[in-house]
Amino acid sequence: MRLADFILRDMKHILAEWEAFVATQLPAARNLDSLALRDHAPQILQAIAKDLRTPQTSEAQREKSLGRASKVPGAPDTAAQIHAIIRARGGFNINQLVAEYRALRASVLRLWMDQFELVAADLDDVMRFNEAIDQAVAESVDFFNAEVEQSRNLLLGMLGHDLRSPLQTIQMTASYLAALNAGEKVSEAAARLIRSGASMNSLLDDLCDFNRMKLGLGINIAPIEIDLAHVVGDTVDQLRAAHPDRRIDLEMKGNVQGAWDGLRLQQVVSNLVLNAIRYGAPDASVRVVVTGDDTEVHLAVRNSGPAIDQLTLERMFDPLSRGPDQEDKHAGGLGLGLYIASEIARAHHGSIDARSDQAETAFEVRLPRRAFQTT
């Protein structure tokens, strides 16, 4: 009997073995009934049987073995894809999902071979069956990962929002304590709370922005006419107050007025300067230079310190990325600052570049004088 015919004829036994195996996948399967344990298994088996009966070219066979079977645009999700989403929402992990297909592959072939003596023509069925299973696994894994990623992003969004209120309470209380003039110890403690609150607020900003981008919402900007000298100057003053042990120099050249989102550019300056403070030479100054020409403004942040190798420079603006010598140090950051700075520059139709040598490391932001509003 050909394998496709066997699958359809003995589906009851195959599904029983599927159900028995899934029931062992704890804790996710603990409270599932028979229908939930078999979720979309009949449809997956029917799709496999249909595939086995469908003629295919050598190229189609090769693509399917790699999990890249062609799909008609606009076609509904396959049973394997829907199965993956339900398993992800049900608390299964990726290993358990793949294990279902591994067990299915083994049980189908074993049941078939136990009942029939294979002939030469059956070898093609075995190959086609394995390709169909591989395609189902690829579809399931893609959708499972997408579902998990979406859930994670939604959780991060809610977390970032819910942490705002208690953080604001901490910051307000710290400011109140600082204003009491209740002695040196209280003032120092209040100052530490204020600095820590500012750091936490910056981390939350980065987290929320990163989450927006992962959800496909991008960085939104609301440009208005501003003087970048005031924006950058205020930001540098705040950073000097937060890091009194570090020297931060500021230089303005030319016309630095234009239409930008001032709050977003404060974020860029803060992220770049904090990066320079973290990884630059502690005994050297951080230099912020803003230069305006006829059509655009350039904002550069420079610091002395060890040169950054080319490989690290190439992935400097990747999210959650740090240099190889920075992974175990400076745990206060999420590795998002430079990525978010680059996205803000892009939202202003500008760009950001990095270079590094033995003399200095420099980040330069190029901003057209007029940015278009985005939402």
194, 323: one domain: no
Is 60 part of any domain?
yes
pLDDT at 74: 66
> What pTM was computed for the model?
0.58
- H/E run at residue 241: helix 228-242
Is 331 part of any domain?
yes
Is 375 part of any domain?
no
Instruction: Tell how many helices (H) and how many strands (E) occur in the chain.
Output: 13, 7
pLDDT at 330: 45
Mean of the pLDDT values across residues 346-354? Answer: 94
- H/E run at residue 57: none
296, 271: one domain: yes
Number of structural domains, the chain? 2
Q: Name the nearest CA neighbour of 219 among 265, 257, 160.
A: 265
pLDDT of 88 above 70:
yes
pLDDT at 319: 80
| DSSP states along 173-200 | HHHHHHHTT--HHHHHHHHHHHHHHHHH
69, 194: one domain: yes
User: How far apart are the C-alpha atoms of 94 and 142, rounded to whole Å?
Assistant: 10
Is 198 part of any domain?
yes
Is 373 part of any domain?
no
More confident of the two residues 35 and 214: 35
Domain limit, last residue, from 218, 246, 275: 218
234, 200: one domain: no
Q: Residue 154: which CATH number?
A: 1.10.490.70
Dihedral in degrees, nearest 10, Cα atoms 305, 284, 243, 340: -40
27, 60: one domain: yes
CA atoms in the 13 A half-sphere facing the CB of 24: 7
Q: How large a percentage of the chain has pLDDT more than 70? A: 92
Is 340 part of any domain?
yes
Question: pLDDT-derived band of residue 121, with 50, 70 and 90 as boundaries?
Answer: confident
pLDDT at 72: 56
pLDDT at 25: 95
235, 343: one domain: yes
Mean of the pLDDT values across residues 218-231? Answer: 91
77, 154: one domain: yes
Q: Give me 21's structure tokens.
A: 């195996």
pLDDT of 333 above 60:
no
207-217 pLDDT, tens digit per residue, is: 778 777 776 77
202, 233: one domain: no
**Domain limits for position 287:** 224-368
pLDDT at 329: 46
158, 270: one domain: no
168, 189: one domain: yes
Q: Give me 17's structure tokens.
A: 């073995």
pLDDT at 251: 97
How many other CB atoms sit within 10 Å of the CB of residue 369?
18
Is 319 part of any domain?
yes
User: How far apart are the C-alpha atoms of 1 and 30, rounded to whole Å?
Assistant: 37
Domain limit, last residue, from 218, 236, 262: 218
98, 196: one domain: yes
pLDDT of 324 above 60:
no
Q: Name the nearest CA neighbour of 168 among 200, 138, 142, 191.
A: 200
Mean of the pLDDT values across residues 173-188? Answer: 86
356-365 pLDDT, tens digit per residue, is: 999 899 999 9
Q: Give me 364's structure tokens.
A: 């330069």
Give the number of residues written for the chain: 375
Q: Residue 320: which CATH number?
A: 3.30.565.10
Is 329 part of any domain?
yes
23, 105: one domain: yes
Phi, psi of 294 (to 5 degrees): -65, -35
Quick one: CA dihedral 337, 350, 293, 267, positive or negative? negative
Domain limit, last residue, from 203, 218, 233: 218
